[in-house]
Amino acid sequence: MAPHPEVGTVTVPRTEAPAAPPPRGTLLAVEGLTVAYGEREVVHDVSFSMAEGESLALIGESGSGKTTVARTVLRLLPGAARVTAGAVTFAGRDVTALGDREFRPLRGAQIGFVPQDPANALNPVRGIGVQAHETAALLRLRDKAAEKEAILQAFAQVGLPDPERVYRSHPHQLSGGMLQRVLIGLAVLPRPTLLVADEPTSGLDVTIQKVVLDLLSGLRRDLGLSLLFITHDLAIAAERADSLVVLKDGVVKERGSSQRVLSRPESDYARELQADVPAINPHRYRAARAARPRTDPGNQVELRAVTKSFAARGGPVTAVDDVSIVVPRGTTHALVGESGSGKTTTARLLLGLESPDAGEIVVGADTLNAHSTKQWRAARRHLQLVYQNPFTSLDPTWKVERIVREPLDRYGIGPKAERRLRVAEALEAVGLSAEMGTRRPGQLSGGQRQRVAIARALAIRPDVLVLDEPTSALDVTVQASIMELLVRLQHELGLTYVFVSHDLSLVRQIADTVTVLRDGAVIENGAVEEIFSRPEHEYTRALLDAIPAVALADAAADGLGDVADAAL
Amino acid sequence: MSTVVDTGRRAPWTVASRRVLSGAPVSVLISFVVVLVLVVWVLVPSLITSSNPVDAVPLDKLRSPSPAHWFGTDYLGRDVLTRVIYGARSSVLTAGVAVGIGLVVGGGLGMLGGFFGGVVDAVIGRVVDTMLAIPGLLLAVAIVVTLGFHDINAAVATGITSIAIFARIMRAEVLKVRQSVFIESAYLQGGSRTFVLFAHVLPNAYRSVLALAVLQFGSAILVIAALAFLGYGSPPPASSWGLLIADGSKYQVAPWLIYCPAAVVVVTVLSINRISRWLRTPR
């Protein structure tokens, strides 16, 4: 398969080549580390080492033990966990053997920590300044004024616009991105030699994510920090770290330089991971999507100049402002934007979960009256939604079979025997065995639950599926299997998808047309290839820039290891 | 009550109760045994004791506890244990009625208020607030005086005083469940409000209310005993635990007349509370 420059150009080769300081010996060495919660081993015989100034990423899915390793390094393991074997050597001292009293001077001062969720990492009832002084006390300066100066300096260093104002603020007055900067600033304030960042960007919008990652890279370069980076995102890890350690079920599956692991993964798991990351494989579903039958043209879904505002303190807020969208039958249309862009509200308007202040919604041939409950109920027979989080969208007290059958029961479709047959079909279509029907959601994994949600949406044989970030709560390999399923179902059933997402690399993989939203207004609208290769608006460009730029992307996407080798 | 009975052919409920009880702490198992004994007392008291609760042997009056009379005898020479056993039916039945009223009326009000919100919730909320403002025992006494002195009236009165707390808990649970994504999803699947309320909201909200009911069962026994003690229960010769304690208090030379029935009340309440607490802890 030839590279596809029209889309491939988006993945610019990695630009920043940090002037890595010459290796100065090992800073952190983890040897044969085994951690158990009671009888259950969650980390098994994990070894890796980091040189001074190096950056290393621990990659794995949820439950892979990556956070446990990081917490062992920081000595922040919960009480039930014990290190049963191995050693963690930091700057020549075995951290696991030290007493709490001996370790305390290291944590913070020598090993900095950037937590995953900035909103929960600060005390909401105390000012940021007060909390910053707790960290600044590590510097042992002569007085509060000197401490404050150091704090303001650190805030300025992480690019906070008005350090003095931030110092006086409370956490709720700052955005997630600013809070994460505050925490990074505080983490580097005592000039640690190692910074541990546990999914530092997973709760942030994509453009902010990029800014925070750039900040970490910059600080690393300027301060000569070593960075231990915990993430589930192979693309981000490969872009930002010198070397990678791939974990699964607490076992190291692969380790090596980022370039090497990405272009020539040796273990099966790393190969699977590499194939499943959307940013590296923009054309994964190209063949399957090209095979979709092009039936009668025409529009399945249309929004015409829809506007919706909500009452809020200080006057109404316009969540969706004059948005028009056209989705041709049998295609996938993506709504993209950051949180607050109005993409979810637009999807909810389309489903009749909110009623528009102005504008028209057309589904199939019907223009839907915003206030007719009856009409909406009829329309929803052909219009189904798959929620973002399968952990909350299924009634935990119901069995799978009944969940999938629910729309059939409610709309009174066919006799009982036919409903049962349709449920079995739907479960089979999403790749679940009939035996799953007797289970409750609590007994299923996240991926299985999302399959149940899709089966429920399919059981009634709708024309349109609205997918509200259907994989954002799931691991990347699970995401890939769900995406594969959706592409296949579209092919087989001629479904029309409205796909809400903030992940542009995913949109690039599966969408035909796209609407970029910002503050409730349409920024750009058109075919995915068009907009991704020639973005007209600066905001679109910023969103596209946030896709981790990974070298060799196209070679890897085509699964041609030898090409990747040649490129090396 | 769930018990572990090993029949050759395992009925589904046997398997279920086995699963429920496996891993339960010893205190919970003991509590279940206590409740089981209680159930037998209520259903077939003659199985446990051969003597009659109203047979008086004047020669044996006011005997202290002995192998012949475990709980001693009262001022007429009646066996106290027998009277406690026969009194169990009245006490447990009235407590059951009281809890039933609280659960159905209070739970129902809380469910409606939490689910429909708005005016419905405001009206129900103020009624509940008013009920909470009146001391429970005072309200119960007022109701018994109105309805007439009888065990069942005392039970109804006790039930009415517990409506408010049931309504509060149910409302909080329903409010929490109502905001779940799967509730909105149920509407999207074409469910009506009534359907969503009974098929989705209620099954997810009833758990802690049921635990509260078990808890209230214990306190209902105490309140009804207190009402009986104060003379608001059935007139003699009916016997209930509260009446036994009330009568016993007249004979200070025979403290077992108070302590033995009181110990039964305490053990019962503690056992039920233990089970209730165990039911509420997620497993």
Q: Find the CB nearest A380 among B181, B188, B204.
A: B188
Tell me which chain B residues have a C-beta less than 8 angstroms from the C-beta of A387: 181, 185
Q: Which DSSP symbol is given to A22?
A: P
**Mutation for testing the A interface, residue in B181, B183, B188, B204 having most A CBs under 10 Å:** B188
B interface residues, A as partner, C-beta within 8 Å: 180-182, 184-186, 188-191, 195, 200, 203-204
Residues contacting B36, CB < 8 A, separation 6+:
B1, B3
Architecture of domain B26-280: Orthogonal Bundle (1.10)
Q: Which residue has the tokens 């920590």?
A: A113
Side chain identity, residue A310 = F
Residues of chain B with C-beta less than 8 angstroms from the C-beta of A410: 189-191, 195
Kindly report the pTM of this predicted structure.
Answer: 0.77
Residue A38 three-state SS: coil
DSSP β-ladder status, A358-363 and A513-518: unpaired
φ/ψ region of B52 (left if φ > 0, alpha if ψ in -120 to 50, else beta) reads: beta
Contact criterion met (CB below 8 Å) for A459 and A408: yes
A54 CB burial (10 A radius; 0-12, 13-18, 19+): buried
Q: Do A395 and B189 touch (CB under 8 A)?
A: no
Q: Do B190 and A407 touch (CB under 8 A)?
A: yes
* Cβ of residue A351 closer than 8 Å to a chain B Cβ: yes
Q: Which residue has the tokens 């923009």?
A: A282
Hey, what are B9's tokens?
Answer: 């052919």
- Mind giving me the DSSP string for A399-463? -HHHHHHHHHHHTT-S-HHHHHHHHHHHHHHTT--GGGGGS-GGGS-HHHHHHHHHHHHHHT--S
CB contact under 8 A, A393 and B189: no
Q: How far is A483 from chain B (nearest CA, A)?
A: 21
Which chain B residues are within 8 Å of A395, Cβ to Cβ?
182, 186, 200, 203-204
Residue length of chain A = 568
Q: How far is B25 from chain A (nearest CA, A)?
A: 20
Cβ(A401)–Cβ(A423) below 8 Å: yes
- Residue A178 is encoded by which pair of tokens? 């600013």
User: Residue B212 has which token pair?
Assistant: 């509260």
Cβ-Cβ contacts under 8 Å, A381 against chain B: 190
Residue of B nearest to A457 (CA): B189
Cα separation values, A416 from A401, A402, A412, A423, B9, Å: 13, 12, 9, 11, 31
Percent helix, strand and coil across chain A, each to the nearest 5: 40, 25, 35
Reduced to 3 states (helix: H, G, I; strand: E, B; else coil), residue B19 is helix
Name the residue among A442, A498, A445, A490 with its Cα closest to residue A470: A498
- Angle (CA) B28 B30 B33, round 5°: 115
Tokens 């808890």 sit at which residue?
B215
Tokens representing residue A555 in the block: 């070679």
Chain B: closest CA distance from residue A332 (Å): 21
How far is A125 from A249, CA to CA, in rounded Å? 38
Give the separation between CA A151 and CA A499, rounded to whole angstroms.
43
B72 in Cβ contact with B257 (< 8 Å): yes
Q: What pLDDT was estimated at residue B199?
A: 92
Structure tokens, B225: 């005993």
| Separation CA A262–CA B46 (nearest Å) | 80
Chain A residue numbers touching B189 (CB-CB < 8 A): 380, 406-407, 410, 456
A402 contacts chain B (CB < 8 A): no
Inform me whether the C-beta atom of residue A449 falls under 8 Å from chain B C-beta atoms. Answer: no
Is A397 an 8 Å CB contact of chain B?
yes
B186 contacts on A by Cβ (under 8 Å): 395, 406
- Report d(CA A530, CA A550) in Å as an integer: 21
Residues B184 and A348 sit within 8 Å (Cβ to Cβ): no
Residues of A in contact with B185 (CB under 8 A): 385, 387, 393-394
Contact B182 A392 (CB under 8 A): yes
Torsion angle in degrees (nearest 10) through CA of B101, B105, B111, B117: -150
User: What 3-state DSSP class applies to A326?
Assistant: strand
Residues, chain B, total?
Answer: 283
Please indicate whether, in this complex, the C-beta atoms of B188 and A406 are within 8 angstroms of each other: no
The model's pLDDT over A48-63, given as tens digits with 9 standing for 90+, comes to 999 888 899 999 888 8
Distance CA A145, CA A173 (A): 24
Q: Do A411 and B191 touch (CB under 8 A)?
A: no
CA distance A400 to A398: 7
Q: Do B188 and A385 touch (CB under 8 A)?
A: yes
Task: Decide if B173 contacts B183 (C-beta within 8 A).
Answer: no
Instruction: Flag if B189 and A394 touch (Cβ within 8 Å).
Output: no
B190–A411 CB contact, under 8 Å:
yes
- Tell which of A353, A395, A468 to mutate to test the B interface (max B CBs under 10 Å): A395
The H or E element that residue A518 is part of is strand A513-518
CA–CA separation, A135 and A147 (whole Å): 9
pLDDT at A15: 42
Please tell me the distance in Å from B135's CA to the nearest CA on chain A. 37
Helix axes B80-101, B151-161, angle to 10 degrees: 40
Q: Under a CB-based contact definition with an 8 Å cutoff, are residues A32 and A212 in contact? A: no
Domain locations in chain B?
26-280
Kindly give the confidence (pLDDT) of every residue in chain A, 568 residues in length, as a single tens digit, with 9 standing for 90 and above.
Answer: 444 444 433 343 444 444 444 456 788 999 999 999 888 888 999 999 998 888 999 998 888 888 889 888 888 888 788 888 888 998 888 888 888 888 888 888 889 998 888 888 888 899 999 999 988 888 888 888 899 999 998 898 888 888 999 999 998 888 888 888 899 999 988 888 999 998 888 777 888 888 888 888 888 888 888 999 998 888 888 888 999 999 998 899 999 988 888 888 889 998 888 888 888 888 888 888 887 776 667 888 888 889 988 888 777 888 899 999 999 988 999 999 888 888 889 999 998 888 888 888 888 878 877 677 788 888 888 899 999 889 899 999 899 999 999 999 998 888 999 999 999 989 988 888 888 888 889 888 888 999 999 999 988 889 999 999 888 878 888 888 889 889 988 888 889 999 999 888 899 989 999 999 998 899 999 999 899 888 899 999 888 888 876 654 444 444 433 333 333 3
Chain B residues touching residue A377 (CB < 8 angstroms) = 190
What does each of the 283 residues of chain B score in pLDDT, given as a tens digit? 444 444 445 555 666 566 566 677 888 899 999 989 988 888 887 777 777 777 777 777 777 777 777 787 777 778 888 888 888 888 888 888 999 999 999 999 999 999 998 999 999 999 999 998 988 888 888 988 998 888 888 889 989 999 999 999 999 999 999 999 999 999 988 888 999 999 999 988 888 888 788 878 878 877 887 887 787 877 666 677 877 877 777 787 778 888 888 888 889 888 888 887 787 665 5
Of A271, A290, A391, the residue nearest A331 (C-alpha): A290
Burial level of A399, CB count in 10 A (0-12/13-18/19+)? middle
User: Which among A385, A408, A410 is the top mutation candidate for probing chain B, defined by the most B β-carbons within 10 Å of its own β-carbon?
Assistant: A410
Report pLDDT for A2. 45
How close A324 gets to chain B, by Cα (Å)? 23
